[in-house]
Amino acid sequence: MELFEYKAHELKGMLGKGEVSAKDVAESFLGRIGAVDESVGAFLAVDRESALAGAKRYDDGEKDGLLAGIPVGIKDNISVKGMQNTCASKILEGYIAPYDATVTEKIKRQGGVIVGKLNMDEFAMGSSTEHSAYKLTRNPFGLDRVPGGSSGGSAASVAAMEVPVSLGTDTGGSVRQPAAYCGIAGLKPTYGSISRYGVTAFGSTLDQVGTLGRDVKDLALITSAITGKDDRDFTTHSRDLGDLYANLSKDIRGKRIALPDEFLGEGLNEDARKSIEESVKVFEALGAKVERVSLKMADFSLAAYYIISSAEASSNLARFDGIRYGFRAKEALDLIDLYKESRSQGFGPEVKRRIMLGTYVLSAGYYDAYYKKALKVRKLIQDEYNSIFSNFDAMISPTTPTPAFRLGDKTEDVMAMYLNDIYTVPVNIAGIPAVSIPCGLSEGMPLGLQIMGAHFSEQTILDIAYAYESERGLDLRPSL
């Protein structure tokens, strides 16, 4: 096998035994990027020199760290000092990050080798990565299909074996949905378990850095490297998740798992339904007990999400005004015209749609009717999840209602695009952790199983995912 075909934890073992050099590993993945990324389009920027320099540090003796010598890809809304941070938007074209995000610092401290920046939906607003201002990313399992979004580049790069692991962000499913579409594993941790310092904000009470890898062990490895409290992000929690990688266990005997009726209703692809039913049998064979439950507030999650996230986006994106950095419109008549033209020309249609929606729901006369009401609904959703997790160790559902759709199929139908997130959005509303792992195929495209847990139960849901993955033995690989 080529080195790029190995998973991160396998490479970690080989590097630790001295069987390969970090330079050989880095060059193998850089070669893979050169061979396939013209077709896949996962990367917006590749920093070959930086990657080889990081590998050289390992080979020269800096061998400590969970990710020592392992290549990592970073979504292009997470700051890496000296690399671009465009958020896939024209309004930030040419912007170079002057500092590292906390997660970037931690990856470097743990010996990770950062390869480059990955494509995404502009400002993380989208579910297909078709809203990038720069390029189209394709699903490695079907180049006529979307990779999901907004972390489409992060998922596609791992599925195409261009990097073994990557970072994305998840505001309403933007790690789990593309992980499901691309046949890999993706984790959205508990809100507050990973610092967002240096991550461009979309919806501040929903955003969370997430991790992607080809299997659960890789997720546990990279997640353990970046979690923890950060004084620069007051939303981070002091609770320690522990070493998720070292503590992984396949023993889930006696675990109680909930399956919501509402997540198996109308709109669910028949193959996805069968995959969930088969997954229930796998869990029961492993000694877990699966019971049906009702999530009465589930139908309100999507509406609450788009009101809250758009309101927060309209506030967060006000800083992009054409004055301090990024794109500036030419020949503006005055300051107000400069603001208007810079934002009109610099932002794409989906970003402008959400800014306008957010501004509307925050405006006088509508704040109480929409935004305030959405916050109340959010509390009810959180209470319902907390109630279920007082009796169950985890909850399962499909990650998405269907496999990846074809490029261009939903670009004109906004509501159809938004409905792709119907099973993932409630997790962000509740602030709980969730992981997506492959569970089958439909039309030759991967399907995902979502496993959710109570706040800070990452070890539990990863153990359940690890047990399932070990039993099923799914290791999906695209034929690029």
* Catalytically annotated residues: 75, 150, 174
Q: Measure the CA–CA gap between 153 and 139, rounded to whole angstroms.
A: 9
Strands in 113-118's sheet, in edge-to-edge order, are: 43-46, 113-118, 71-75, 165-169, 209-213, 185-188, 434-442, 445-452, 394-398, 256-260, 289-293
Instruction: Single out the residue of 480, 393, 62, 10 nearest to residue 213, CA to CA.
Output: 10
Q: What is the DSSP string of 323-365?
A: SSSS---SS-SSHHHHHHHHHHHHS-HHHHHHHHHHHHHHSTT
Residue 318: CB partners within 8 Å, gap ≥ 6?
A: none
* C-alpha to C-alpha distance for 271 and 273, rounded to whole angstroms: 5
Q: Which residues contact 13 (CB under 8 A, 6 or more apart)?
A: none
- Nearest Cα neighbor of 394 from 279, 305, 301 is 279
Closest CA to 399 of 449, 439, 445, 474: 449
H or E element in which residue 291 lies: strand 289-293
Locate 412 and state its tokens.
Answer: 């004109």
DSSP reduced 3-state for 248: coil
Q: Which of 182, 221, 186, 160 is nearest to 8 (CA)?
A: 221
Residue with tokens 């991550």: 199
**Which residues lie below 8 Å from residue 273, measured CB to CB, with a gap of 6+?**
264, 398
Euclidean distance between CA atoms 435 and 450, whole angstroms? 6
